[in-house]
Amino acid sequence: MPLTLATLIISAICSDGVFIRSDKRTTIRHSNGSVEYRDILNKVFVTDDKRIIIYNHGINRINRVPWNEHAAILAAKLQQATSTNLSAVLDLAAATLDPVVAAEVAGNKLDDFCAFVVIIRLADGRYHAGEVSWKRNHPVEKRPLSRFIRSGSGVKYVHPGAGQKSDRHWSNLKVNEARAEVAGLYDDAVKAQAAEQGHEFSLTCDDLTVKP
């Protein structure tokens, strides 16, 4: 039973930490062609010291291993490294994941895309975010992310105006204030998905607050 990750994850990096709302949907495609949705999956990995947050969208079983096991390996590498800037973090993430992810994307019969979002607290004491992603027949892409992050196939239901607020807006908010904004965006996305009879993400979700 191959699994793909239908997803909506919304994150806000705030003045006192990070708030993340993630859906719980897994799409199971059976060999007979039928599709089953299960809303049971935890989609965010956090290290015990709260320094590193990792999540995935797109293909979520890589070389037959669940995405979170790859996230744990990557987090251990990042903890051991002396990276002082986001560019170095993304370089290490790409080098760690590329051998298995590139092969999976090339051969996967259900999807041709995989991405990992990394949010990490660096030496300046602040959280920084970036993404490494793979698409079939393309090299790995590394890019920094803003303080407001939308990930997954469900982002098409998030109001486009949400991304127009500046990084300053989110950096001035406390986590609890961001929670209210993100919850409103998620609720509106649920309504938009229902109106279009979509199935990209679940109504149920997990809320996660990470503070240094």
Ordered per-residue pLDDT tens for the chain, 212 residues: 445 567 999 999 999 999 999 999 887 776 676 777 788 889 999 999 999 999 999 988 899 999 999 999 999 999 999 888 999 999 999 999 999 999 999 998 878 999 999 999 999 999 999 999 999 999 999 999 999 999 999 999 998 887 778 899 999 999 999 999 999 999 999 999 999 999 889 999 999 999 98
Which amino acid type is present at position 152?
Answer: G
Which residues in 51-196 belong to E strands, given as ranges? Answer: 52-58, 61-62, 65-66, 113-121, 127-135, 141-144, 148-151
> Measured at the alpha carbon of residue 120, what is the angle toward residues 119 and 126, in degrees to the nearest 5?
110
For 3-194, CATH number out of 2.40.50.140, 1.10.3720.10, 1.10.579.10, 3.60.20.10 equals 3.60.20.10
